[in-house]
Amino acid sequence: MKQWDELLKKYPFIINDGAFATELEAMGCDINDELWSAKVLYEDPEKIAAVHVSYFEAGADIGTSASYQASVPGFMKKGFSKEESRQLIADSMTILKDAIRACQKADPERKNLLAAGSCGPYGAFLANGGEYTGDYGHTDADREMIRAFHKERMEILKESGADLFACETVPALWEAKMEAEIAGELGVPCWISFSCRDGKHISDGTEIAACAKALMDDDNVVAIGINCTHPKYLTSLIREIRGAIGDKKPVIVYPNGGEEYDPVTKMWSGKYAAGNFRGLAREWYEVGANVIGGCCRTTPQDIRELSALRDEMMKN
């Protein structure tokens, strides 16, 4: 992908955006709901646009759509028709693309801003924390249903102008391979990022090195990495990936803030650990990360720190 390749050549690392839902909460949105941030697509879409703009202004090169927990069946459960549900998913990409155009109008030098269509795992649709365990309570016979679930949303995001898919918070290798296969069929590049339980394993217990090896020969997968994982595990996880695939692919990392999420109460607890993004990101870069951003509980300020670090590195 031309824009992706140009960004990798231009900068020490590409900057992804940061937390979406928690920024909406900070703006007064109530997202304690099965749809999570996708709820705001029909309640207050202007706030979604404002979050996108805040991250681009902070220095992000990539924006991710508000479709992580959006799905046709999810919206239909709320009373929307199938057509209306499809339109809401399309709207998530339209809002992002409009934000990019506005930022590029203000600064024509930022021609390579990318719109990533966020594709959360099936566990996110279940809204029971399954994306952090990989335990969907399904049988092999259910996998075709899960495949259809992913394909429907990815087709809508493609039709709406996604530059690539962000297949993120994936807890199991089988689901990662499924999403990568669909992306290839649709002809849209993707990255695959896993949720991880420690410094060596993804959420369902599979070694991250094995996951990286399984995906490294797929030319349509433009990066492999980790997201929504405690920052303390990232250095080890990056080393595991690099040990498995060498320099064959870029590594993408965007951890959460280090707090613990309770899927029942939908509340966060514990200490925010990502406040020193500049120092943490330098270490992740030095061990092999090529794309760095933030996930749950991170903020535009964290992305500004990444941008400041990158500017500093380019001057030296």
> Residue ranges per domain, the chain?
2-315
Q: Which two tokens stand for residue 73?
A: 């069946």
Output the pLDDT for position 267.
54
Instruction: Please give the average per-residue pLDDT across 279-290, as a whole number.
Output: 96
Phi, psi of 274 (to 5 degrees): -95, 15
Which residue has better confidence, 46 or 259?
46
Tell me, what's the pLDDT at 181? Answer: 98
- Cβ–Cβ contacts within 10 Å for residue 5, how many? 11
Neighbouring CB atoms inside 10 A of 46's CB total 8
Residue 132 has pLDDT above 70, yes or no: yes
Mean pLDDT along residues 10-32: 91
Q: Burial-class residue 81 by CB neighbours within 10 Å (0-12, 13-18, 19+).
A: exposed
Task: Please report the beta strands in the chain, taking only residues with DSSP state E, as ranges in sequence order.
Answer: 14-15, 62-64, 114-119, 164-170, 190-194, 221-227, 251-254, 260-262, 267-269, 291-292
pLDDT digits (tens, 9 = 90+) for 214-254: 999 999 999 999 999 999 999 999 999 999 999 999 999 99
Please give the average per-residue pLDDT across 205-216, as a whole number: 98
Comparing 27 with 138, the larger pLDDT belongs to 27
Confidence tier at 128 by pLDDT (50, 70, 90): confident
Kindly calculate the radius of gyration of the chain based on its CA atoms and give it in whole angstroms.
18
What whole-number distance in Å separates Cα of residue 204 and Cα of residue 196?
8
Superfamily designation of domain 2-315: Homocysteine-binding-like domain (3.20.20.330)
* Across 80-101, average pLDDT: 97
Does the pLDDT of residue 263 top 70, yes or no? no
Range in 38-47, 105-114, 274-283, 286-295 with the lowest mean pLDDT: 274-283
Whether residue 296 has pLDDT greater than 80: yes
pTM of the model: 0.94
* CA–CA gap between residue 225 and residue 292 (Å, rounded): 10
**3-state DSSP call for residue 136?**
coil
Please tell me the predicted confidence (pLDDT) of residue 261. Answer: 57
Residue 229: closest CA among 168, 277, 184, 290? 168
Q: What is the mean pLDDT of residues 292-299?
A: 92
Q: What distance in Å separates the CA atoms of residue 226 and residue 83, rounded to the nearest whole number?
A: 33
Q: How far apart are CA 105 and CA 111, in angstroms?
A: 9
Burial 99-113 (b: 16+ CB within 10 A, else e): bbeebeeeeeeeebb
- What is the Cβ-side half-sphere exposure of residue 107, based on CA atoms within 13 angstroms? 12
Confidence of residue 113 (pLDDT cuts 50, 70, 90): very high
